[in-house]
Amino acid sequence: MEKLARDAQTLFGLTLTPKQLAQLSAYERELLEWNQKFNLTAIREVDGIRAKHFLDSFSCSLAWKEQPPRRLVDVGTGAGFPGLVLKILYPAMKLTLVESVGKKANFCAHIVQTLGLESVEVLTSRAEQIGQRAAHREKYDWAVARAVANLPVLSEYLLPLVRVGGGVLAQKGASGPAEAQASEKAFKLLGGKLRQIIPVELPGVAEERYLVIVDKSAATPPLYPRKDGQPAKKPL
């Protein structure tokens, strides 16, 4: 964990407290244990978890620097990345995790309980449904997602959840810049505008990584998100 703390400081200017390191350590332990039974994530060794899950989640901080979200939604969170790691980083933040696969949502709820995290809601649901609910529509400062869908599809999941003046953060691999270019029409239709693309380098990780950041500049038309499966079948 000492190396993780050093890397967080060096790469992202983040200072982790002993409590945060203890929480990450417990998270890692539970993930390794549950993974043997439930196949939550393909990454199964400690170094991989620390670089490709923890540090990768920390990289989101580059999007908001000194102003972390007060209210964040993580769509398709899987085993809690990046949402739960960001909650450990920013304890005062209100967090909603959206995950349609029951075993993954159950693991997230287990971590919330094990670590004693407050103001975290875990929804076993599809993003299309959440985006049409009054309790969640245009209620968040930021919506984040990692490796969930192509950006034209993902933008229809995320932008309806974000208030005007808020932002969308998509964690992407090598295809990030091309996907952002292909999504301009979708962004505009949904009330968004591309702000920037930030390259991310992680120690020991060869693959390219990018943060695609989209500002929410206008309200999303009521039609979006469309019904379950429609965004993926007919991308904007």
Per-residue pLDDT tens digits for 167-197: 999 999 999 999 999 999 999 999 999 999 9
CATH code: domain of residue 98: 3.40.50.150
| Domain total in the chain | 1
Residue pair 212/61 in contact (Cβ under 8 Å)? The answer is no
DSSP secondary structure string, the chain? Answer: -HHHHHHHHHHH-----HHHHHHHHHHHHHHHHHHHHH---S--SHHHIIIIIIIHHHTTHHHHTT---SEEEEET-TTTTTHHHHHHH-TT-EEEEE-SSHHHHHHHHHHHHHHT--SEEEE-S-HHHHTTSTTTTT-EEEEEEESSS-HHHHHHHHGGGEEEEEEEEEEE-TTHHHHHHHTHHHHHHHTEEEEEEEEE--TT--S-EEEEEEEE-SPPPTT-S-STTHHHHS--
Classify the C-alpha dihedral 183-162-83-111 as positive or negative.
Answer: negative
Rounded Cα–Cα distance for residues 28 and 32 (Å): 6
> pLDDT value at position 48?
81
Q: Which pLDDT value is given to residue 44?
A: 79
Average pLDDT per run of 10 along the chain, which is 236 residues long? Answer: 96 97 96 88 84 95 93 97 98 97 96 98 96 97 94 97 98 97 97 98 93 98 96 95
The closest of 184, 179, 187, 235 to 208, measured between CA atoms, is: 179
The pLDDT value given to residue 42? 81
Global pTM?
0.96
Domain that holds residue 138: 2-233
The answer to whether the CB of 148 falls within 8 A of the CB of 76 is: yes
